[in-house]
Amino acid sequence: MILRVVLFMLLTVSQASGQTPGWSPYPPLWGPGHIDRPAVPLDQAAAVIVVLVPDESYDGGCGGPHDCSVRGSVVRLDKGPLPGQIVRTAHSLGNPLKAGQPITLYLTRFPDRDVYYIIGSHPMPAGPAGSN
C-alpha cells in the first residue's frame, strides 16, 4: 500500500512539474522541420568572417583530444583581420569541408593565443544552373 502511495505521489509531482510527456498544444521542440537558431546571429558573434577554399577535405568534426588545423586559401575577407591560423576545436562538430569547394567560416579568436576557431559555417551556394 505504501508503495502505491509513493508511486502515485511521484507521478503526480512529475506531471505537475512537466517532467513526463503529455498532451501539449505546442509542437515538439525537436520534431521534423525544427531549426535550431543561435541567440546571437553568427555574423554578429564572429570576430572574423572569411570565405575559405580548403586544401584538403575534413569530415564533420574534430573527434580527437587536440585542435585540428584547417589549411586552405582565403579568397574573401568579409569581416575582421586576416586570420593567421584556423582550427577546429577538439570534440567539435560542424559542416564537412571539401577540398576545392569554398565555404564561409565564422571565426572567433582564442583569448590566450593568436589562433581563430570556427563557431559556424555555411557552404557557398552553387553557381547558376548550367554553369558546370
CATH number at residue 79: 2.40.50
Q: Is residue 103 part of a domain?
A: yes
Neighbours of 104 (CB within 10 A): 19
Confidence of residue 89 (pLDDT cuts 50, 70, 90): confident
The answer to the question of residue 17 being in a domain is no
* Percent of residues, the chain, with pLDDT higher than 70: 70
- Which comes out higher in pLDDT, residue 9 or 67? 67
Q: What is the pLDDT of residues 16-59, one digit of tens each?
A: 555 555 555 555 555 555 556 667 888 888 999 999 999 988 87
Q: Model's pTM, two decimal places?
A: 0.64
Number of structural domains in the chain: 1
Do 126 and 112 contact (CB within 8 A), yes or no? no
Per the domain annotation, does 132 fall within a domain?
Answer: no
Taking the CB of residue 116, how many other CB atoms lie within 10 A of it?
A: 25
In a domain, 27, yes or no: no
Which residue do the cell numbers 577546429 mark?
Answer: 88
